[in-house]
Amino acid sequence: MNKFRRNDDSPQNQGPVTNERIRSNELRVTTHDGEALGIMSKQEALNLARQQDMDLILIVPKAEPPVAKIISLNKYNYELKKREKLQAKNARASAIEIKEVKFRPGIGSHDLQIKMKQAQKFIDGGAKVKITIQMRGRENAKAQDVLGHFIAEINEHLDNFKFEQPLKLAGNRILGVIQKDE
């Protein structure tokens, strides 16, 4: 076994520091309701926790003196997981989705209308829309004309939007990002 590898029994892998595993001799203690009990010795806090059939859990180890809470370990772990799930849910909800609409310069007018309706639906749904116009061969020679034409088409077919990144030439593609105008 590698001598630099951490042992799986290390405190970092066992969750919160509880009861006898708390190293500090003096603690600032709170109850499960959040009521401050004050600063007391580790032994006093442990006795108080045991009287209530609960655990002493180290909450803020870097504070002076460290903060410990008298609470059931199962309840503490449940609340911790619940808080993590809520944070993950909020992160997913606030993430803005980016949809992409791709086409070529020779696209038919009806097909372009369908693509624009699709883009409008994405914008109305709150997503950003990346517009990609892929050019091949000799189509690159008329890139500026194509760029001007598609800016006019976008302005004609879409409403309630703004350019986050205006359409611009990038190699053999014209790229841009639009989003809902608020």
Cβ atoms of 109 and 157 closer than 8 Å:
no
- Least Cα distance to 147 among 116, 105, 90 occurs for 105
Is residue 82's pLDDT more than 80?
Answer: yes
pLDDT for residue 92: 81
Domain over 98-180 is classified CATH 3.40.50.300: no
Q: For the whole prediction, is pTM greater than 0.75?
A: no
Q: Determine the Cα angle at 105 with ends 102 and 111, to 5°.
A: 65
Residue 67 banded pLDDT, cuts 50, 70, 90: very high
Residue 5 banded pLDDT, cuts 50, 70, 90: low
Residue 182 banded pLDDT, cuts 50, 70, 90: confident
pLDDT tens digits along 10-60: 545 567 888 889 998 999 999 988 899 999 999 999 999 999 999 999 999
Residue scoring higher pLDDT (133 or 140): 133
CATH topology of domain 11-76: Ubiquitin-like (UB roll) (3.10.20)
Cβ atoms of 159 and 124 closer than 8 Å:
no
Where are the domain boundaries for CATH 3.30.110.10 in the chain? 98-180
pLDDT for residue 50: 92
Where are the domain boundaries for CATH 3.10.20.80 in the chain? 11-76
Instruction: Kindly write down the DSSP assignment for every residue of 120-158, as one continuous string.
Output: HHHHHTT-EEEEEEE--GGGGGGHHHHHHHHHHHHHHH-
pLDDT for residue 167: 84
Mean pLDDT of 131-154: 82
